[in-house]
Amino acid sequence: MKLRYTTRALREIDEAISYIGNHSPQGADNVAVRIREALTFLREQPFAGSVTSRKNTRRFFLKPYPYTVYYRVGAGEIIIQRFRHTSRKS
């Protein structure tokens, strides 16, 4: 499946990686690798994420890191909608 990102999701990913990188460049690299791994997995298993209360929206926890990817499965694509730290309100 193809991945598509909302502008908001791209901004949130960039902000998270930048924030982590200011404190730990290696930590930012580790999170970036985990994001790529998780998105590759979702391309292969798009319904692996949990169903949320929002219509057609799923979430995938980025273990062991405290982030959640919110996404929708469309016709032949996965739309990454949000990337949130688990301590933040949705």
pLDDT at 1 over 80: yes
The domain total for the chain is 1
Q: Which residue range is the domain that position 73 belongs to?
A: 2-85
pLDDT, residue 77, reads 95
Side-chain-side CA neighbours of 81 within 13 Å: the count stands at 14
Q: Decide if 80 is inside a domain.
A: yes
Q: Decide if 90 is inside a domain.
A: no
Q: What is the mean pLDDT of residues 23-50?
A: 95
Q: Of 18, 56, 43, nearest to 70 (Cα)?
A: 56
Q: Decide if 20 is inside a domain.
A: yes
The CATH number of the domain holding residue 70 is 3.30.2310.20
pTM of the model: 0.91
Q: Decide if 72 is inside a domain.
A: yes
pLDDT at 87 over 80: yes
Q: Which long-range contacts (CB under 8 A, 24 or more apart) does 36-45 make?
A: 38/62, 38/69, 39/3, 39/69, 39/80, 42/3, 42/69, 42/71, 42/78, 43/1, 43/3, 43/78
pLDDT at 90 over 60: no
